[in-house]
Every structure is written in C-alpha cells, then in structure tokens.
Amino acid sequence: MTQTKKGAKAPNSTQNKDSYTSIQKQMVLKYFREHTTTMYKCEKDTGISRPNICRYIAELERRGLITRLTKAVCPISGHMAHYFTTQK
C-alpha cells in the first residue's frame, strides 16, 4: 500500500484562485453594464453563484462602479430584490 503526502498543494494555487475571482468580478461588472437587473437574474445568465455575485457587488458599490437603483419584485423568484446598474 502506498502512502501519499498529506497537505500537498497544487503549484500557484492562490494565483489561480485570484485570477478566477478577478475574471468573475469582471463578468459581473460587464453584465450589469449591459443589464439593469437583480443578482438572481445575473446568477442565472452568467452561472456565477449568488454569494459570489453579492460579494462582488458589495466591492463594486464601495468603489462606485455599481449603483443600487430600486427594490422591486424579481421576475424570476417573485420576491422583493434590489436592482443594480452601472455608471455607463
């Protein structure tokens, strides 16, 4: 029976994670530049998970790149949700 080393990491694992996160953040920003909609709709159209979208929106709002417009019923979920857009 062979033993494997515990705790072995893939090379540059954090670099790959950071670039993937950056790509997702750019996708979210681009999506909201083209659409004024909810996070749920963004999740359905981009395939990025809603918790990640929420985190990216919070950061982009702090930087002034995304604006929260209004709160209304989401056409997909039927629940009250915030609508977001960018400064085009």
Residue indicated by tokens 């033993």 = 3
Note the pLDDT of residue 44. 93
From first to last of its 88 residues, the chain has per-residue pLDDT tens of 555 444 444 445 555 667 778 899 999 999 999 999 999 999 999 999 999 999 999 999 999 999 999 999 988 888 899 999 887 6
The separation between CA 44 and the C-alpha centre of its own chain, rounded to angstroms, equals 11
Query: What pLDDT does 17 receive?
Result: 65
Q: What is the pLDDT of residue 9?
A: 44
**Sign of the Cα pseudo-torsion (88, 31, 63, 20, in order):** negative
